[in-house]
Structure 1
Amino acid sequence: MADRKPPPPPPPEELPSLAYRSYFLLMMVLVSASVVGERYMMVVMVEPIRHELHLTDTAIGMAKDMIIAIVYILAVIPLARLADRWSKRKVVGMAAVVWSSAVILCGSAKSFAVLLVGRAGIGLGEGGFTPPSQAWIADLFPIKQRATALSIFLLGASMGTFLGPALGGWAAHAYGWRNALLFASIPGFILAPIVWFTLRDTRAGLADNAPAIREPTLPFLQTARELMAIGTLPPLILAAGLNALLTLGLVSWAPAFMERTHGMPANQAGLQLGGALFFGSIIGHTAGGPLADFLGRRDLRWYIWILMLSGAVAAALGYVILTGPGDRVFPLFGLTMMLGGLSAAPLMAVVTGLAPVRSRATAVAILMVTIQVVGLGGGPVFVGWLSDTLHPVYGEASLGIAMRWVLLAGIPSTILAWMASRTCRRDFAAAGGWGGPVAKSAMLH
């Protein structure tokens, strides 16, 4: 019997057109703006909510930030694993419905418990959006373009950071904080079906030329051990969490700080804070990815050095913000957000570039859990607790004193980022390098 020739290999799968990928990024920008705006809107509603529901600063910190962090921590890894195994498109679409419904619940809250449940729903929805969206981008954009694509994606966070406090402060002043939250739920309900019906799932690793081989999904603990065995990731992820603690510990209390320390009304503080954060973050997010891609072609360590430098400088700026005159506060907040924006896309590019293609969403989830635990769960709640503790002695000045303590996080974050930079070139080479074949170890999941 004559030997039979093996069938020819299937033609290589091509990336979708640039037009589709541009549309995809636009949708991710809008969805990101929706969830970030709904989260940050509450920072300008602290005082009316606190007075109407008779809450302490500690309780406000719990509702505003910590409950989101707790639910996010519990939900984000299972949801990321679901996205790795099932459909990133469907997980993102359902997440938008969840957080939009939760915002309506917050607006109807008559008690602290209901407010907590509503804010928890926002954390659940955000947990279903962040890891799948970033892993989805990594599947559609080659590593040499990935930080730039992630910079565009992060413009959504910039928009949300501006629109949440700015429109939220205006709407709360004009229509009351409850109606403002009701209006805020509308965009998510519009975007969810658009994502579901007009976008399509992409094969994991397509942009990295990884073969279309479906390996068995490993248990989470084994996957986590493999990710943490990549030497760059543990110190880098912890450094990112400490930077978030510093930034969020300041930003989440900024309107209340201005109202108590400098006598500025909350609606004015919200508008100025929103503008400063928007312009600072949009400059940082727009420039960070292209800058990292440019410098990274010369030395990969720049992807991490940008994070290291931004944390150190942000700590110094924070001290000036809290001790200087009121007219300098918001410009300096804008500069702080610009520094944070510069480091965000390079950070995501490193995490998604070093993680195995089948567990990218899980890697992003671990990063985001760390940011939630250390950043959101630590900074804002710690500041609220310390402010309440110091209030009997320092009165309204206790908030500004408490905010200064989070600046110390800049010291260990700088050291950890430097440690991560020492191993990143070796780990990128093991993961397949820049445009080379993906290493077998990077395809296990």
Structure 2
Amino acid sequence: MTGISSTPDQTDATSEKLPGMVYRSWFMFVLILVSASVVGERFMMAVMVGPIKAELKLSDTEIGLAKDMAIAIVYIIAVLPLARLADRWSKRKIIALSAGLWSIAVLICGAAKGFWMLLVGRALIGLGEGGYTPASQSWIADHFPLRQRATAMAIFLLGASLGNFLGPAVGGWLTHNYGWREAMFYAFLPGIVLAPIVWFTLRDVRPGLADNVSKADAEVQPFVATVKQLLAIRTLPLLMLSSALNTLITMGLVSWAPAFVERSHGMSAQDAGIQMGGALFLGSVIGHTVGGPLSDWLGRRDLRWYIWMGMLCGAAAMVIAWLALSAPMNLVFPLLGLNMLIGGMSAAPLLAVIAGLAPAHSRSVAVALLMIAINVIGLGLGPVFVGWLSDMLTPAYGQEALGMAMRIVLLVGGPSFVLAWLASRACLGDFDRAGGWSAGKPVAAALH
């Protein structure tokens, strides 16, 4: 197929021919927009805290629970069973329904009369994310062979970068001009428009087709057997833990950077937010754009480059972060942007390896396990760990305690580097058993 399917009835999950590049370009474009929608809707509340807190008379604790914790808890609980469903059912339908769900959830938040209604709305956003993340990444792997997969993942990640920028930026403008409730209503529109576009113009592709895996070998296995099989692939748990530790460092830096420059350099919160947003957006976009194609190019010469790139980028990012924490005020955010650029180059290769080593029938579950590790260790512990260290160090370091705590967290990069190195030693054997590719062509998979 070289065009866009016009009706859902034309969806053919059993087709033995990959869709043409025109269709796959449209497929990637739609997924970028959907990613921008969910990420933007999640993070736009960060610029609405003041008016929401004042109108609903909420405490900082209640704001924190609704803004972040509700999404994180529901996501962690829901992502694995929803990933399992994605491997057994239609990824197209799951993503379309997820987009509709998080859009309705934003509408519920906009209509909230108190804490509990706001909490329910935010929790439903987490449920929608839990359905979308594993299904989308697995769906991309269904469409692109290994030699193109990191590039495809890099393109996909641009949607998250766009959402990270547009959510707070557009949300802040709408809140300032129309109020937070009206801003929530406008945020409801993108997902509710994109849901039918996904449902009616995209189609499922048989898992394993891009890797020359037969239909019989791609049949879904029992859940416990699936998880055991994934964890038996030595590279996967090593990479998942390494990535979770890297995320712990990243979130420890990003979540505390504005407070760091305010305490250590006297910068205003408004200036810190603007500078950090621009630096992180540019850094992540460039890093994702470069990282995918570069890893695919290097990976054609040696598959270990998919992991070596993450190792080297992680080490370089830690050095740059250390320099940022010791630099003059005018260099802090440029260096943090460079940190995000270098670190972001490893994201697409990571996703490509996870999708490339996981059996075709359990790719969504593999992505879900990665997301659980990242959310529990990285997103959950990173900011809290830095805050706790800062409190412990305050009697000795005063206003500089936060900066010292952020430097200490960078030491986690050591274990992360070692885990990635161990993964690189195991990956060639795992790629041989999983199929991988030879001379640029995917081969039949023994593990799948």
CA shift at 1:131, angstroms? 0.8
CA distance in 2, matches of 1:164, 1:396: 32
Confirm or deny that 1:340 pairs with 2:346. Answer: no
- Superposed, 1:201-350 pairs within 5 Å as 201-213=204-216, 217-258=220-261, 262=265, 264=267, 266-350=269-353
CA shift at 1:409, angstroms? 2.3
CA shift at 1:365, angstroms? 0.9
CA shift at 1:129, angstroms? 0.7
Q: Tell me the secondary structure at the aligned position of residue 427 of structure 1.
A: helix
Confirm or deny that 1:439 pairs with 2:442. Answer: no
**Residues 216 and 158 from structure 1, CA distance in 2 versus in 1: closer, same or farther, beyond 3 angstroms?**
closer
Aligned to 2:9: none
- Superposed, 1:64-103 pairs within 5 Å as 64-103=67-106
CA shift at 1:360, angstroms? 0.8
Cα contact 2:146–2:442 (8 A) shared by 1: no
**Residues 420 and 27 from structure 1, CA distance in 2 versus in 1: closer, same or farther, beyond 3 angstroms?**
same
CA shift at 1:260, angstroms? 5.6
Identify which of 161, 168, 171 aligns with 2:171: 168
Q: Which amino acid aligns with 1:131?
A: P
CA distance in 2, matches of 1:95, 1:180: 21
CA shift at 1:114, angstroms? 4.0
Q: Which amino acid aligns with 2:290?
A: A
CA shift at 1:103, angstroms? 2.5
Q: Tell me the secondary structure at the aligned position of residue 270 of structure 1.
A: helix
Confirm or deny that 1:125 pairs with 2:131. Answer: no
**Residues 252 and 370 from structure 1, CA distance in 2 versus in 1: closer, same or farther, beyond 3 angstroms?**
same
- Superposed, 1:22-61 pairs within 5 Å as 22-45=25-48, 53=57, 55-56=59-60, 61=64
**Residues 299 and 382 from structure 1, CA distance in 2 versus in 1: closer, same or farther, beyond 3 angstroms?**
same
What are the superposed Cα offsets for residues 272-330 of structure 1, whole Å, 9 maximum, x if unpaired? 32221221111111111110011111121111111112222323333333343332232
Q: Tell me the secondary structure at the aligned position of residue 440 of structure 1.
A: coil
CA shift at 1:25, angstroms? 0.3
CA distance in 1, matches of 2:119, 2:412: 28
Q: Tell me the secondary structure at the aligned position of residue 441 of structure 1.
A: coil
CA shift at 1:405, angstroms? 4.4
Aligned to 1:415: 418
Q: Which amino acid aligns with 2:360?
A: V
Aligned pair count reads 431
Q: Which amino acid aligns with 1:353?
A: G
CA distance in 1, matches of 2:97, 2:399: 42
- Superposed, 1:341-380 pairs within 5 Å as 341-380=344-383
Aligned to 2:158: 155
Q: Which amino acid aligns with 2:252?
A: G
CA shift at 1:418, angstroms? 0.9
Q: Tell me the secondary structure at the aligned position of residue 299 of structure 1.
A: coil
Cα contact 2:255–2:383 (8 A) shared by 1: yes
Cα contact 2:218–2:360 (8 A) shared by 1: no
TM-score w.r.t. length of structure 1: 0.87
Q: Tell me the secondary structure at the aligned position of residue 186 of structure 1.
A: helix
Shifted more, 307-316 versus 253-262: the winner is 253-262
Q: Tell me the secondary structure at the aligned position of residue 230 of structure 2.
A: helix
CA distance in 2, matches of 1:369, 1:169: 30
TM-score w.r.t. length of structure 2: 0.87
Cα contact 2:248–2:381 (8 A) shared by 1: yes
**Residues 322 and 118 from structure 1, CA distance in 2 versus in 1: closer, same or farther, beyond 3 angstroms?**
farther
What are the superposed Cα offsets for residues 408-437 of structure 1, whole Å, 9 maximum, x if unpaired? 322211111111011111111111131343
Q: Percent identity?
A: 63
RMSD over aligned Cα, in angstroms?
2.8
CA distance in 2, matches of 1:331, 1:54: 35
Q: Tell me the secondary structure at the aligned position of residue 346 of structure 2.
A: helix
Identify which of 186, 190, 194 aligns with 1:183: 186
CA shift at 1:196, angstroms? 1.0
**Residues 122 and 318 from structure 1, CA distance in 2 versus in 1: closer, same or farther, beyond 3 angstroms?**
farther
Cα contact 1:46–1:256 (8 A) shared by 2: no
Q: Which amino acid aligns with 1:224?
A: V
Cα contact 1:65–1:376 (8 A) shared by 2: no
Cα contact 2:158–2:285 (8 A) shared by 1: yes
Structure 2: runs of 5+ lacking an equivalent: 1-13
**Residues 23 and 254 from structure 1, CA distance in 2 versus in 1: closer, same or farther, beyond 3 angstroms?**
same
CA distance in 1, matches of 2:195, 2:34: 8
**Residues 165 and 250 from structure 1, CA distance in 2 versus in 1: closer, same or farther, beyond 3 angstroms?**
farther
CA distance in 2, matches of 1:287, 1:377: 28
CA distance in 2, matches of 1:408, 1:217: 40
CA distance in 2, matches of 1:302, 1:33: 29
CA distance in 2, matches of 1:313, 1:409: 14
Aligned to 1:6: none
Cα contact 2:235–2:430 (8 A) shared by 1: yes
**Residues 189 and 244 from structure 1, CA distance in 2 versus in 1: closer, same or farther, beyond 3 angstroms?**
same
Cα contact 1:62–1:381 (8 A) shared by 2: no
**Residues 241 and 323 from structure 1, CA distance in 2 versus in 1: closer, same or farther, beyond 3 angstroms?**
same
CA shift at 1:116, angstroms? 3.4
